[in-house]
């Protein structure tokens, strides 16, 4: 078992070039960990970690918001006078939510940029680049989602920044990765999903490809990247060395193929009458399990599943269909998969006999997977969502006309640590003066940088 003291030791962000590579240990926290004291004031696990966020739109900001929720200090660098383009990605009717003077704010931006400070810097100006380099020298992590090679052109590549910060974790997200024939193509979520085969397998069995309701390639890339960053930080704790991480929307999409991808790689699916079965769309069904999907009741829809033969017997009992579990065609999962259409037809007729509420009551306490298909409002108002603090209320949000903003809370909680919003989704450049002051810039120089539109 790893020594718990090492879990609260951190290499300095400055990466001092010494033969011993001295560790900076949070000794008081280590003592508290060992003694079990200070439990009522437990800090978040990434408290003190400094992250410089040079990304925009979704994958990168989602990644850094997760790190920020876990306690990291995140500085988001944005373009003066414009900012992250998602600041202006408003849904229909959203304009009435915001004060007219706050045109650079949207719910899309607010969804993935809490707990960050916003700094505006012109990366096309040498003085602006110096500001970013100064921030990078003080950072544990730098993340960007520029096209491969662009950061190097700006003098902000990994080799450039690690000269002054040996322990730097340098993370890059792009559309297709830093090598290969598509490296120079811009990355867009739906295009990545299309080229990775995911749109082909998503949608109704008898319809065309369907895009998921949210940007899955972007979100999964952000999730993957945050995990890779934490792994790199753990490695740095042990070695003192930083690292460069690369990820892409396309690679994330391919990784999500999972069992469908392995079937395509390992089975001879190009022969026989079901040649196109590889990657076949099944709507809400599952390629490996039956029953698994949505069925119409008298007044709604219900999603149910039976993941093994034991559950199948319990499922049939709750459904009240005599003899179905013992039918040789359906008694094993292999048989049910082979006879998918027939069994789904039998189940659909039965589900249509009762209301959604009646079926929910029938499955209550069964231990079987089941649930109603909620719309977004019903989901966010679900009693379980409230019990788990999955909706956060901000009551004095400057950009909103009524001062109110609701956010979706963090999916993960840490026992004893508060997951409250520390910093509201920032206004464009809201913290520029504060951050520059921390870097040692006097007020007069900050004013001059603003006059020159560098910040």
Which range, of 4-13, 201-210, 435-444, 445-454, averages the lowest pLDDT? 4-13
Per the CATH hierarchy, to which homologous superfamily does domain 50-257+421-452 belong? Crotonobetainyl-coa:carnitine coa-transferase; domain 1 (3.40.50.10540)
Q: What is the DSSP letter of 25?
A: E
Q: What band does 277 get if pLDDT is binned at 50, 70 and 90?
A: low
Could you give the CA distance from residue 44 to residue 38 in angstroms, rounded to a whole number? 13
pTM of the model: 0.86
pLDDT: is 213 or 27 the higher one? 213
Query: Residue 169: its pLDDT value, please?
Result: 99
Query: Residue 272: its pLDDT value, please?
Result: 55
Query: Residue 227: its pLDDT value, please?
Result: 98
Whether 204 is catalytic is: no
Query: Residue 270: its pLDDT value, please?
Result: 62
Query: Residue 42: its pLDDT value, please?
Result: 83
Contacts of 206 (CB under 8 A, 6+ apart): none
**Residue in 53, 140, 189, 218 annotated catalytic:** 218
Q: Give domain limits for the chain.
A: 50-257+421-452, 292-373
Arithmetic mean of pLDDT, 103-116: 98
291 pLDDT more than 50 = yes
Could you give the CA distance from residue 451 to residue 455 in angstroms, rounded to a whole number? 8
Query: Which stretch, 37-51, 96-110, 204-218, has highest mean pLDDT?
Result: 96-110
Query: Residue 279: its pLDDT value, please?
Result: 74
Query: Closest Cα to residue 226, out of 353, 339, 65?
Result: 65
3-state secondary structure of 178: coil
pLDDT: is 363 or 8 the higher one? 363
Query: Residue 31: its pLDDT value, please?
Result: 30
Query: Residue 444: its pLDDT value, please?
Result: 97
CATH 3.30.1540.10 given to domain 292-373? yes
7-49: per-residue pLDDT in tens? Answer: 333 333 323 333 324 333 333 333 333 333 344 448 999 999 9
Arithmetic mean of pLDDT, 123-144: 98
Query: Residue 38: its pLDDT value, please?
Result: 45
Please state, rounded to an integer, the average pLDDT across all residues of the chain: 89
212 pLDDT more than 80 = yes
Query: Closest Cα to residue 87, out of 59, 115, 56?
Result: 56
Angle at 119 between CA 230 and CA 44, to 5 degrees: 35
400 pLDDT more than 80 = yes
Arithmetic mean of pLDDT, 277-292: 84
Instruction: Output phi, psi for 105, to 5 deg.
Output: -150, 140
Query: Residue 274: its pLDDT value, please?
Result: 55
Arithmetic mean of pLDDT, 208-212: 91
294-313: per-residue pLDDT in tens? Answer: 999 999 899 999 999 999 99
Write down the H helix ranges in 146-244.
150-153, 158-162, 189-195, 216-239
**What letters, b where the CB count within 10 A reaches 16 and e where it falls short, cover 404-442?**
ebebebbeeeeeeeebebebbbbbbbbbbbebbeeeebe
59-78: per-residue pLDDT in tens? Answer: 999 999 999 999 999 999 99
370-376 long-range contacts (CB < 8 A, ≥24 apart) are 370/302, 370/303, 370/304, 370/305, 371/302, 371/303, 372/300, 372/301, 372/302, 372/303, 373/294, 373/300, 373/301, 373/302, 373/303
Query: Residue 309: its pLDDT value, please?
Result: 93
Query: Residue 282: its pLDDT value, please?
Result: 83
Query: Residue 414: its pLDDT value, please?
Result: 95
């Amino acid at each position: 078992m790893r020594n718990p003291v090492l879990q609260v030791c951190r290499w300095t962000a400055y990466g001092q070039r010494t033969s011993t590579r001295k560790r900076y240990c949070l000794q008081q926290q280590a003592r508290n960990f060992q003694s079990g004291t200070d439990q009522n004031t437990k800090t978040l696990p990434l408290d003190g970690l400094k992250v410089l966020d040079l990304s925009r739109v979704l994958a990168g900001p989602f990644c850094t918001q997760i790190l920020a929720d876990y306690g990291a200090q995140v500085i988001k660098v944005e373009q003066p006078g414009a900012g992250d383009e998602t600041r202006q990605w408003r849904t229909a009717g959203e304009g009435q939510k915001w004060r007219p003077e706050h045109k650079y704010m949207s719910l899309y931006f607010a969804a993935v940029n809490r707990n960050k400070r916003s700094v505006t810097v012109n990366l096309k100006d040498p003085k602006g680049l110096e500001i970013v380099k100064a921030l990078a020298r003080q950072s544990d992590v730098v993340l960007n989602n520029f096209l491969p090679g662009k950061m190097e052109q700006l003098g902000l590549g990994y080799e450039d920044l690690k000269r002054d910060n040996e322990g730097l974790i340098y993370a890059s997200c792009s559309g297709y990765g830093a090598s290969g024939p598509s490296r120079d193509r811009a990355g867009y979520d739906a295009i990545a999903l299309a080229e990775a085969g995911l749109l082909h397998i998503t949608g109704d069995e008898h319809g065309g490809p369907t895009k998921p309701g949210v940007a899955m390639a972007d979100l999964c890339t952000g999730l993957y990247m945050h995990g890779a960053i934490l792994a790199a930080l753990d490695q740095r704790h042990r070695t003192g060395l930083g690292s460069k991480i690369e990820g892409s929307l396309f690679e994330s999409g391919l990784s999500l193929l999972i069992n469908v991808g392995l079937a395509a790689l390992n089975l001879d699916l190009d022969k026989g009458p079901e040649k196109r079965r590889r990657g076949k769309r099944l709507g809400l069904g599952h390629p490996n399990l039956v029953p698994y999907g949505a069925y119409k009741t008298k007044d709604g829809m219900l999603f149910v599943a039976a993941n093994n033969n034991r559950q199948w017997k319990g499922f049939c009992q709750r459904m009240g269909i005599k003899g179905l579990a013992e039918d040789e065609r359906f008694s094993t999962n292999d048989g049910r998969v082979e006879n998918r259409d027939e069994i789904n037809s039998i189940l659909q007729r039965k589900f249509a006999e009762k209301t959604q509420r009646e079926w929910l009551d029938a499955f209550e306490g069964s231990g079987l997977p089941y649930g109603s298909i909620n719309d977004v409002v019903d989901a966010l108002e679900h009693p379980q969502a409230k019990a788990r603090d999955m909706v956060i209320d901000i009551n004095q949000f400057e950009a909103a006309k009524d001062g109110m903003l609701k956010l979706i809370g963090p999916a993960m909680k840490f026992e004893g640590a508060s997951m409250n919003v520390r910093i509201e989704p920032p206004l464009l450049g809201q913290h520029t003066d504060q951050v520059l002051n921390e870097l040692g810039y006097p007020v007069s120089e900050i004013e001059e940088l603003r006059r020159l539109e560098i910040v």
